[in-house]
A = this chain, B = another copy of it.
Amino acid sequence: MVASIRVKRPLNRSRLHEEIGDILLRDIVKGRIHTGERLPAEREMAHDLGVNRATVRSALKWLESLDLIEIRHGLGAVIKDYRESGSPELIRSLITMDGHIDEDILMGILEVRRIMVPQMASAAASLRTDTDLKDLEDAVFHSSELSVMERDILVHHIIAVMSNNLLYLVLLNFFNKFMRDFGYLYFEDDRNILRSQEFHQAIYEAIKKKNPKKAKKVMDGVLEDVERLIRETFNKSQGQGGTP
């Protein structure tokens, strides 16, 4: 029995500033407020929304961190075009904005991951030290206390460290957030848990042998697998309960 693709809603009650931030984010992304326009003054918004100015400021700060608005002392907050300046983190808000997982965005993420992570593994195989390798060995063979997903995240993390490239590391952190949000789509199938363990051992061998081409190939193979299986999951759920 396959349930429809659902969004796991954390039961945390939203903070007030988060609710307001979400409202404003929607208004901006949906185009209800246009690029270049100015937001009302903080005092005005606070009054209209019936909340304190500090709460509004908190929400605005969040939007600013997503590069959706620019706050300037003495001037106000102006809307920026999220397509031209939106930050990677913005995608995390967009992917479930309409109450379900946006398939286009998720597949787009997997597409970029498919390009980037094998290259990272290749660099890791070239640059890894013996200390790095020991860490990877522990993660692959002696981390039974971890769930398979957490072990997978750890393995990737160690590979990112091996690559000696800080950008790979933070981009992987970015991907891992999605993994924790939507990884159940993959790991709820026991066969994939087995696949994952086989992959860990294969990538370990390739990196141990300092074989970049092999490491890249192994990584690419598993990501191709994931991409295909996630796509199938979507197709299945569409066939069952999709809307016309």
Contacts and interface: CB of A to CB of B under 8 A. Distances in A.
Interface of A: 54, 58, 61-62, 65, 67, 83-91, 94, 104-105, 108-109, 111-112, 115-116, 119, 123, 157, 161, 164-171, 173-174
The main secondary structure of chain A at its interface with chain B is helix
A169 B90 CA distance: 11
Contacts of A161: 83
B173 A67 contact: yes
B61 A109 contact: no
Contacts of A116: 112, 115-116
Contact of A174 (B88, B108, B109, B169): B88
Nearest to A66: B65
A47 B141 CA distance: 49
Contacts of A58: 61
Q: In the complex this chain forms, how many copies of it are found?
A: 2
Given A87-B89, A91-B167, 13 more contacts: A58-B61, A83-B157, A83-B161, A84-B173, A87-B88, A88-B174, A91-B166, A108-B165, A111-B123, A111-B165, A112-B116, A112-B171, A115-B116
Interface centre among A88, A91, A116, A168 (most CB of B within 10 A): A88
